[in-house]
């Protein structure tokens, strides 16, 4: 029985009799548009979508206020939790608290910067054992593709990882080495044999410089757009030869959009994401020494930001993920403001929805667009069955969101472990008032999240 059929039959059998919850939403947002509805939930699953005023025998009822909308929980497919091994940087308790507070109900953890990295079945089991008791929302795992596990990815795939992460330039941690083009192709050959997914940090190592000092312009110049364009070209060529499915992570330059779009048209199985920080900030706004903004690839100029928005709106960029990559405050080297010494990563897992909606709203986009970029498309791309939609048979993962409320980010009120974020002091639109995971309110102090494996 397929998982889709199983979900449908489960819903059909549970609509008989009383339900556990009905959510009455004058405004329900999906990728296809806006409607009004009563959403019926039983045993954590959406079992019916009825008229707003439908008579329902329910144990609990939620009625949304006039300024609220109901939308699916965010599916963030790019989060560095760092536990075990670098738990002082983050951890499953704090990362999932922050994600849930911001309306994310599902995340997928990156295979680094934990120690051990998730490059073997044994390492995956270690990470799952650590994560299991701490999850505030549902979590899956990426595997890692590194030089030493070429030809050895199938056991991780069979264990349910959602795909494999590789770097085409140094990762920043010694235990997770990047791939040469030849090693990438070797990995893709194996991945194609079981129709897996390779997700790629695409920068050409030979085109990167060594930043030095407080100059933000100097840091950006050390990682030029051409390094992404070149590396993405290498990935496209290897994917074309092997037939493997590939995904480009954290696209920071619109210079690569045309080649990705052309590759799609020619039959290459490629998708791409960008991140909230590339859509929110511009290099001209970043002061010298402001190392809280350091990430790789870097935040680029305003023209690049606007071109990324247009590519996202046009569908040439598929969706948005946080690339939440925190560290301890001292590693950001804000004491000296040196971009060469500072760790590169943006802490934003709690702010994905509000940051993307704020930019989308300013550009005339709708909440339906945001649901497509943050919920439906990432879930579909990585095969997160039962997630990303408010639809019969899907998990009842929902967010009550007030889109016109304004908030000023206070980094000390964010739930991630180390209180550093470039969003500190920034005014954003949208407020998450309630996060519902499988039909029950998320309590940030109660770990009731599940560990997920890839839907077949």
* pLDDT tens, position by position, 375-413: 999 999 999 999 999 999 999 999 999 999 999 999 999
Strand partners, 33: 30
* pLDDT tens, position by position, 220-277: 999 999 999 999 999 999 999 999 999 999 999 999 999 999 999 999 999 999 999 9
Residue 286 has pLDDT above 60, yes or no: yes
Residue 1 has pLDDT above 90, yes or no: no
Output the pLDDT for position 456. 58
Output the pLDDT for position 455. 74
Residue identified by tokens 């390779």 is 198
* Burial of 136 (C-beta count, 10 Å sphere; 0-12/13-18/19+): buried
Q: How many CA atoms lie within 13 A of 14 on its CB side?
A: 22
Of 104, 80, 128, residue with least CA distance to 352: 104
CB of 369 closer than 8 Å to CB of 313: yes
Of 95, 101, 61, residue with least CA distance to 79: 95
Q: What distance in Å separates the CA atoms of residue 394 and residue 40, rounded to the nearest whole number?
A: 11
Q: What distance in Å separates the CA atoms of residue 66 and residue 120, rounded to the nearest whole number?
A: 50
Output the pLDDT for position 3. 37
Q: Quick one: pLDDT band at residue 12, thresholds 50, 70, 90?
A: very low
Residue 99 has pLDDT above 70, yes or no: yes
* pLDDT tens, position by position, 44-84: 999 999 999 999 999 999 999 999 999 999 999 999 999 99
User: If you count DSSP H runs as helices and E runs as strands, how many of each does the chain have, helices first?
Assistant: 13, 17
Average pLDDT over residues 194-223: 97
> Which residues, 6 or more positions from 20, have their beta carbon under 8 angstroms from its beta carbon?
41, 42, 43, 58, 59, 60, 439
* pLDDT tens, position by position, 333-365: 999 999 999 999 999 999 999 999 999 999 999
- On average, the pLDDT of the chain sits at 95
**Two tokens, residue 196:** 């897996």
Share of the chain residues as helix, strand and coil, in percent rounded to the nearest 5: 35, 25, 45
Q: Quick one: pLDDT band at residue 9, thresholds 50, 70, 90?
A: very low
Average pLDDT over residues 138-166: 98
Average pLDDT over residues 307-334: 98
* pLDDT tens, position by position, 14-40: 344 699 999 999 999 998 899 999 999
Output the pLDDT for position 17. 64
CA distances from 49 to 60, 143, 364, 393 (A): 16, 36, 29, 11
Of 156, 91, 88, residue with least CA distance to 118: 156
Output the pLDDT for position 398. 98
Q: Quick one: pLDDT band at residue 212, thresholds 50, 70, 90?
A: confident
Q: Give all domains of the chain, ordered by start, each with its CATH number.
A: 73-383+405-427 (3.20.20.140)
Residue 429 has pLDDT above 70, yes or no: yes
* Burial of 51 (C-beta count, 10 Å sphere; 0-12/13-18/19+): exposed
């Amino acid at each position: 029985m397929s998982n889709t059929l199983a979900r449908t039959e489960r819903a059909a059998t549970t609509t008989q009799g009383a339900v556990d919850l009905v959510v009455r939403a004058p405004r329900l947002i999906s990728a296809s548009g806006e409607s009004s509805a009563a959403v019926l939930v039983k045993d954590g699953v959406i079992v019916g979508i009825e008229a707003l005023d439908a008579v329902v025998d329910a144990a609990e009822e939620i009625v949304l206020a006039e300024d609220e909308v109901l939308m699916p929980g965010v599916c963030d497919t790019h989060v560095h939790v760092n536990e075990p091994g670098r738990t002082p940087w983050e951890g499953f308790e704090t990362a999932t608290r922050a994600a849930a507070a911001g309306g994310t109900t599902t995340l997928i953890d990156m295979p680094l910067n934990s120690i051990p990295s998730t490059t073997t079945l044994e390492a995956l089991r270690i990470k799952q054992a650590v994560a299991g008791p701490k999850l505030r929302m549902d979590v899956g795992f990426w595997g890692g593709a590194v030089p030493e596990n070429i030809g050895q990815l199938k056991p991780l795939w069979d264990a349910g990882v959602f795909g494999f992460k590789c770097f085409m330039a140094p990762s920043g941690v010694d235990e997770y080495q990047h791939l040469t083009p030849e090693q990438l192709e070797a990995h893709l050959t194996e991945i194609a044999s079981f129709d897996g997914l390779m997700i790629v940090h695409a920068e050409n190592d030979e085109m990167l410089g060594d930043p030095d000092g407080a100059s933000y312009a100097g840091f950006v110049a050390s990682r030029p757009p051409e390094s992404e364009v070149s590396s993405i070209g290498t990935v496209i060529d290897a994917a074309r030869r092997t037939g493997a499915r590939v995904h480009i992570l954290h696209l920071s330059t619109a210079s690569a959009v045309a080649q990705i779009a052309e590759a799609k048209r020619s039959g290459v199985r490629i998708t791409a994401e960008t991140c909230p920080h590339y859509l929110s900030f511009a290099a001209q706004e970043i002061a010298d020494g402001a190392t809280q903004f350091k990430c790789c690839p870097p935040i680029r100029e305003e023209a690049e930001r606007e071109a990324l928005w247009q590519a996202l709106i046009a569908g040439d960029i598929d969706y948005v993920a946080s690339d939440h990559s925190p560290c301890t405050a001292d590693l950001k080297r804000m004491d000296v403001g040196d971009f060469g010494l500072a760790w590169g990563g943006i802490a934003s897992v709690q702010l994905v929805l509000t940051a993307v909606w704020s930019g989308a709203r300013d550009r005339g986009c709708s909440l339906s667009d945001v649901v497509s970029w943050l919920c439906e498309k990432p879930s579909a791309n990585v095969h997160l069955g039962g997630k990303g939609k408010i639809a019969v048979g899907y998990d009842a993962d929902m967010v009550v969101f007030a889109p016109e409320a304004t908030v000023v980010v206070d980094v000390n009120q964010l739930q991630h472990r180390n209180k550093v974020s470039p969003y500190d002091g920034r005014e954003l639109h949208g407020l998450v008032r309630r996060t519902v995971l499988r039909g029950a309110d998320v309590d940030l102090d109660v770990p009731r999240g599940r560990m997920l494996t890839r839907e077949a």
